[in-house]
Amino acid sequence: MAFSKILVANRGEIAWRVMRTAKAMGYGTVAVYSDADRDAPHVAFADQAERLGPPPVGESYLSIDRILEAAHRSGADAIHPGYGFLSENEAFAAACANAGLVFIGPPPDAIAAMGNKAAAKRRMIDSGVPCVPGYQGADQSDANLEKEARKIGLPVMVKAAAGGGGRGMRLVEQDGDLLDAIRTARTEAESAFGSGELILEKAVIDARHVEIQVFADNHGNVLHLGERDCSVQRRHQKVIEEAPSPAVDADLRARMGAAAVAAARAIGYRGAGTVEFLLGADGEFYFLEMNTRLQVEHPVTEAITGLDLVEWQLRVARGESLPLTQQQVRLDGHAIEVRLYAEDAYAGFLPQTGRIDMWRPATGPGVRIDHGMKEGLAISPFYDPMIAKVIASGATREEARLRLVKALRETVVLGPTTNRHFLIRLLEHPEFAAGGATTAFLGKHSFPGPEVTDAHWQLAAGLLWQQSAARYPAALRGWRNSNPEPTPFRLAVGDTERTLELAGAPSATVPHVVDGNDIVVDLDAFTVRFQDRTYQPPASAAAGSDGKLRAPMDGRIVAIKVAAGDKVVRGQTLVVLEAMKIQHQLKAALDAEVESIAVQEGQQVANRTVLVTMAGDAAAR
């Protein structure tokens, strides 16, 4: 079907990326945005932009009616869903068709066939695609799921039947954890996907997560474009992706590719899709799920095939045949991608929010950075905290790895805490460098947070000295005619406070920003936020020792597990906070008595909001 103007029903880097290809092919482009994204780069880049509504996704990016209204107002005749949000929603695909719009994705029936993991797995078993042993039945009672899990045998994965991205997923290794995992996964799944249906699967320990990129057209042609290895994950969400997989040879690629093509044919697929497998240490592979959309990690496939997958999507959507046959597909070189997130990787991967004060993405041979960022833009608590995808390619895996490390070191992002330093450590780890990382990689290796060095403290104080020197005359800084009078600075990082005396600016030039009373310093890819307490009265007590449980990030209170007067013990869950659709158990750090509850279930709270006050010396985390 012909179309001329494409509305991209998404935000950030994927919206911008889709529009670049669409514009290059001569299409008009329409961006949509919530109030939180009004000033986002993808909005400015589009030929037209339409407001959807306020920031909550239900009133903006997940509102089918508002997106269709935006398409009507703008004159768009096609919709590209990107990934996430409504990209795998069969009702949205059907609504587009009913409105006379071309949906740049698979038919609604194909989305529905793979949108529910339980139904998809039953279909794949019927089609002869190898699947992980498990339970995907209709009886969803806690008691039955417990019984089926024990029948499968621990360890077992509890997974949401709808959706993906690691939400509503729990690994259970101890029998005593089973019921809590089922209930938590169900609650999280209901919140994220609107369905609490669960499936159970035998956990394949120390496996690799290998996925096959497939493409299909309206003329019966289906092929694959090789595999991606996405084994390095946290919370079952991908951290590093690469193509090809270090564990896949030509024979295994052909067998996995054939299984993926069979899966796509079985549901009458069209467009870009990904069939995900677990690859065991014994070389056996098992179907996990099919993502009926473009993947976050599609750039690594583009790098080794030389193809533009969005261009293929648009050509298939307008009725063209696939431009290549399976025999014509060539894989050349290697590519690795990391997801640069606003999160504290050394504090349980807690999502972070706040303004991006400095953003300088790296450039160089073989380096590609897909992002939707600019300085001054805020990381919002309403959406996924990914800042950018950093991709490097080369003739060999080692060349790609080294280029990626260099690109991360040269990328400057100051504002909220990010995982940049952590990503570099992963890429430099000997096991990853050797190509041996499996899904157990992060679980079996320790990555403690780095220490704030003397160099960081000295730099922060020196930069503040430099700022004060530019702002105030020397007489006000205690100058004397023999030698400069040292200027004291009292700085703090978290609970640690130090006083430093400096008489000069730092000799090194480092990225930094001053944000109110804070100064953020980047040294050797490790970014530290210092609070300048020089002109503040000394703190009477260290943070966290005042018996108050505070929110570690912006989020919504989904459960309060205690009441005033309750006795609690160290490690007991007090409050459950949901942020970016992940539920975080906030626990007592010491034995104490609950004095008061300051919030209610359903309440949206800001970072550092006091949630629970406890009597006694009850630090909380």
DSSP state of 617: S
Phi-psi sector, 34: left (phi>0), alpha (psi -120 to 50), beta: beta
Tokens matching residue 530: 């210092």
Q: Residue 104 in contact with residue 314, Cβ under 8 Å?
A: yes
CA 101, 103, 107, 109 torsion-angle sign:
negative
Distance between CA atoms of residues 509 and 105, nearest Å: 48
b/e burial code for range 29-48 (CB count within 10 A of at least 16 → b): bbbbbbebbeebbbbebbeb
Q: Residue 172 in contact with residue 158, Cβ under 8 Å?
A: yes
- In Å, the largest CA–CA distance within the chain is 89
Distance between CA atoms of residues 264 and 222, nearest Å: 8
Which residues is 315 bridged to in the sheet?
A: none
| Catalytic residue status for 293 | yes
Using alpha carbons, list the distances in angstroms from residue 340 to 304, 314, 391, 399: 21, 28, 10, 20
Quickly count helices (H) and strands (E) in the chain: 16, 38
Which residues is 522 bridged to in the sheet?
A: 527
Distance between CA atoms of residues 161 and 199, nearest Å: 6
Tokens matching residue 549: 């449980």
Distance between CA atoms of residues 256 and 247, nearest Å: 12
User: Vertex 23, ends 19 and 28: CA angle to 5°?
Assistant: 90
Distance between CA atoms of residues 458 and 500, nearest Å: 8
Rg (CA), the chain: 26
Distance between CA atoms of residues 348 and 443, nearest Å: 12
Length of the chain, in residues: 621
Q: Residue 140 in contact with residue 182, Cβ under 8 Å?
A: no
DSSP state of 37: G
Tokens matching residue 99: 């409105």
Measure the CA dihedral 66/69/70/75, to 10°.
Answer: 160
Q: Is 15 helix (H, G, I), strand (E, B) or coil?
A: helix
Instruction: Given the residues 293, 368, 401, 425, select the one marked as catalytic.
Output: 293
Which residues is 528 bridged to in the sheet?
A: 521
Examine residue 244 and say whether the peptide bond preceding it is cis (omega within 30 degrees of 0). Answer: yes
Tokens matching residue 225: 């474009």
Tokens matching residue 329: 């597909």
Q: Is 181 helix (H, G, I), strand (E, B) or coil?
A: helix
b/e burial code for range 588-611 (CB count within 10 A of at least 16 → b): bebebebbebebeeeeebebebbb
Tokens 């306020």, residue located: 54
Burial environment of residue 499 by CB neighbours within 10 A (0 to 12, 13 to 18, 19 or more): exposed
Q: Which amino acid is at 612?
A: V
Q: Residue 618 in contact with residue 570, Cβ under 8 Å?
A: no
Catalytically active residues are 293
